[in-house]
Amino acid sequence: MSTALVIGANGFLGSHVTRQLVADGHDVRAMVRAGAKTVGIDDLAVRRYQGDIWDDDTLREAMTGCDDVYYCVVDARGWLRDAAPLFRTNVEGTRNVLDVAVGIPLRRFVFTSSYVTVGRRRGRRASEGDVIGTRGVTPYVRSRVQGEELVLRYARERGLPGVAMCVSTTYGSGDWGRTPHGAVIAGAALGKLPFVMGGIELEAVGVDDAARALILAAEKGRVGERYLISEKMISNADVARIAAEAAGVAPPARSIPLPVSYALAALGSAKSRLRGTDERLSLESLRLMRAEAPLDHSKAVRELGWQPRPVEESIAEAARFWVELRNAKQASRTQR
């Protein structure tokens, strides 16, 4: 078995990669920031390194002797009014890690990219060969594109054995940090989601299946290539309905039409400008939630042997996770 390092092992995807590597019998190292919430990996026998992506000494120590490095760090706050933190983490932070990695003999450097780096047009299925244009994209998308381009350029020019994994929206259990998309499932499963936003469709994949794709990429991925990791496109309303059904509660009774969602997003953008606040619902964040076209994941199936489950199963698992977590908290309070 190989020795693997997961950078960002405490995150939603990173924790699932770490868990699968341990279950597969690999020697696993986990790098996490000081003070990070690590409940997703606390029960695992892994060697921990404490530091961030700017800590060259810790990065070098953690990578030395590894076969594979899984980079699962991203600032996904696409709603930020000031986009500087996005570029600092997603571009400059990535560059810093790559500069350390090129000096270490690795088998693979598996980079967690995003499906937003793929160009999508209505009426056709997008693949890895589709390049996204630079006009009209949000700062978040630009930061993800630039980060991925760095990895692929280091693979071409500096010998980095890099593979870019363009992962779509992930659903599943163990979402301890309550991601924004996970919050929709939590709200529906706990009966606290008063409405859903109609007209919203996202490319989605189970987080366990996404983690398996990354591990397969370390074994079989071609250096300098990128792979689309998404199971299917699914509507926001269907996500909420599946979650509610899995939890045994009624689904949200109301749906907000898309024009109303745009009006609310415009108000959020105006509020952000006037008050200098970060508003999660803005025109830019709404644009991120609107898929332009479905994705073709056949390259990952063909070259990596990836076989994702229907994402509906992962959504149901996530709903049961939130219900079990609520019940455990209630039981704990009762015992006190």
Task: Dig out the tokens for 211 from the structure.
Answer: 């983690």
Q: What is the pLDDT of residue 36?
A: 92
* pLDDT band, very low/low/confident/very high, at 254 (cuts 50, 70, 90): confident
Q: What is the pLDDT of residue 228?
A: 98
Name every residue whose Cβ is closer than 8 Å to that of residue 141 and which is 6 or more positions away in sequence.
Answer: 78, 116, 117, 132, 288
Q: What is the pLDDT of residue 291?
A: 59
**Higher local confidence (pLDDT), 171 or 263:** 171
**pLDDT (mean) for 245-263:** 79
Name every residue whose Cβ is closer than 8 Å to that of residue 61 and which is 6 or more positions away in sequence.
Answer: 49
Cβ count within 10 A of residue 151: 25
**Higher local confidence (pLDDT), 39 or 123:** 39
Three-class secondary structure of residue 120 per DSSP: coil
pLDDT, one tens digit per residue, over 198-222 is 777 889 999 999 999 999 999 999 9
CATH classification code of 3-190+202-234+293-310: 3.40.50.720
Q: What is the pLDDT of residue 283?
A: 60
For 7-11, 69-73, 266-270, which range has the lowest pLDDT when averaged over its residues? 266-270
Share of the chain above pLDDT 70, in %: 89
For 110-114, 151-155, 261-265, which range has the lowest pLDDT when averaged over its residues? 261-265
* pLDDT band, very low/low/confident/very high, at 2 (cuts 50, 70, 90): very high
Task: Dig out the tokens for 51 from the structure.
Answer: 């530091």
81 neighbors 134 (Cβ within 8 angstroms):
no
**pLDDT (mean) for 22-50:** 96
Q: What is the pLDDT of residue 102?
A: 97
Is the pLDDT at 90 greater than 80? The verdict is yes
Mean pLDDT of the chain: 90
Task: Dig out the tokens for 284 from the structure.
Answer: 């830019």
Backbone angles phi, psi at 296, to 5 degrees: -105, 110
Give, in order, the Cα–Cα distances in Å from 241 to each of 58, 190, 196, 244: 44, 12, 10, 5
Indicate if the alpha-carbon torsion angle 281, 284, 288, 291 is positive or negative: positive
Task: Dig out the tokens for 13 from the structure.
Answer: 């995807």
Task: Dig out the tokens for 244 from the structure.
Answer: 């509610």
Q: What is the pLDDT of residue 335?
A: 73
